[in-house]
Structure 1
Amino acid sequence: MNVVPMFIRRALYEFRLRRCFPTSVIHSGATADSSSVLGDYSVLFRNVHLIDSSLGAYSYAQENSALYGVEVGPFCSIAAGVTIGLMNHPIYMVSTSPVFYDNTQPLPRFFSSQNRHSQKPPKTVIEADVWIGEGAKIMAGVRVGVGSVIGAGAVVTRDIPPYTVAAGVPCRPIKDRFPESMRLRMLDTRWWELDDKILATLAPYFADPASFLSAINAAKLTVPVGRRD
């Protein structure tokens, strides 16, 4: 195999990817297929792979992470070695090997003429401002709520409520980040949808949640519906 053409193809691929998402930082070895989207000022570190996924504005995924069919909101922090969107194998059949139930699987030989396990799960959703620790695994179809923290090495098989710290195998809630009244007020602000100029004026208050809530309420801001520009 000629190494030079491979290197050239790789360089051209990375050039096209960076051209598609000019405000994003895309490190060597990172990939995003044609159905994936990178939000403004997002970052893919080395050997990160996105398949049919979106990464929100100001979000990043560190080295050797992989996202399959995932919607990641803005301001998310994904550590190294994280895998999101893992599919299950059917355990009600004689074998869990896909060669017996899926004619679309990647193995060179198989024994099924159809896909008997073709039910596609809903998108895996990582809402805004989520922090996912190193080596965590998140199953397909799970929703992780706004502002949640997933501990390193966790295996997430169920939805995680907003502003929850969760960890373990299987992953379970450990504590709430804020009292319930503050959580509700934080969610109501939808600050992650605000324009960058407004966020810049509020940035000095982010260190203190109570001060932040006072500041955003005093400003009487109206948050636009839908995605950030």
Structure 2
Amino acid sequence: MAVVDPSTIFPLAGYDRLCFLKNVVDHPQITVGDYTYYDDFEDVANFQRRVRYLFDFTGDHLRIGKFCMLASGVEFIMNGANHLAQAVSAYPFAVFGGDWAGAMAGKTYPNKGDTTVGNDVWVGYRATIMPGVSIGHGAIIGACAVVTRDVPPYAIVGGNPARVIRMRFDADTVACLLALAWWDWPIEKITHFAPLLTGDVTAFLAAAEE
């Protein structure tokens, strides 16, 4: 069976601006699933540079599922960017030490938790994902969207702040797709169903449920 190896860095022959991302990322707080690709107009090494404010002391993680499609310029803002928005001043006095070192005694900076991208998610050109956001399986994030809140599975969102434009499928169909979780099938089965995965959802579900 001639299926591209997910450990391949550049799966398109002669083209080094699209990579299987898990083979490029080496940050311990970033995990990426098989076959997720990142396409960059300049250099695929840009991806990790665009995961902003990811510090070991914040303890948060970026988790991206399998079979995702990430366009050039995508950015993830992590919890290290957070300031004390509810305080008198948002200025991080304690960071600079000295007589300001104790300014954060008994306090912590806001932390919205891990950022999670499900499986089979398409994130468009220059979209920005804010800290702690969870993007559901099968969602589509429009170009230049700023995602500030969780995105339901199979929703299409866009704008700043991003809002649901429409759902890709009705609720029953979404439930069936989530139950099947095709991205977790053996690669041989995914390959067999690939022509249906790229076609009508009704035909796919009928065949998959046989």
The residue correspondences of 1:5-154 to structure 2 (distance < 5 A) are 23-25=7-9, 42-43=20-21, 50=27, 52-63=29-40, 64-65=46-47, 66-67=50-51, 68=54, 69-87=61-79, 88-98=82-92, 100-102=93-95, 111-113=100-102, 115=104, 116-154=107-145
- How many residues are treated as equivalent by the alignment? 181
Tell me how far 1:112 sits from its aligned partner: 2.8
Give the superposed CA RMSD: 3.1
- Give the secondary-structure state (helix, strand or coil) at the position aligned to 1:211: helix
* 1:170-205 Cα deviation digits (max 9, x unpaired): 110000001222111111111110010111111121
TM-score, structure 2 normalization: 0.74
TM-score, structure 1 normalization: 0.68
The residue correspondences of 1:172-211 to structure 2 (distance < 5 A) are 172-206=163-197, 207-211=199-203
Tell me how far 1:49 sits from its aligned partner: 8.0
Using a 3 Å threshold, how does the CA distance of structure 1 residues 156 and 84 change in structure 2: closer, same or farther? same
Give unmatched runs, 5+ long, in structure 1.
1-21, 29-40, 219-229
Tell me the percent identity.
32
Structure 2 distance, partners of 1:187, 1:77, is: 18
- Give the secondary-structure state (helix, strand or coil) at the position aligned to 1:54: strand
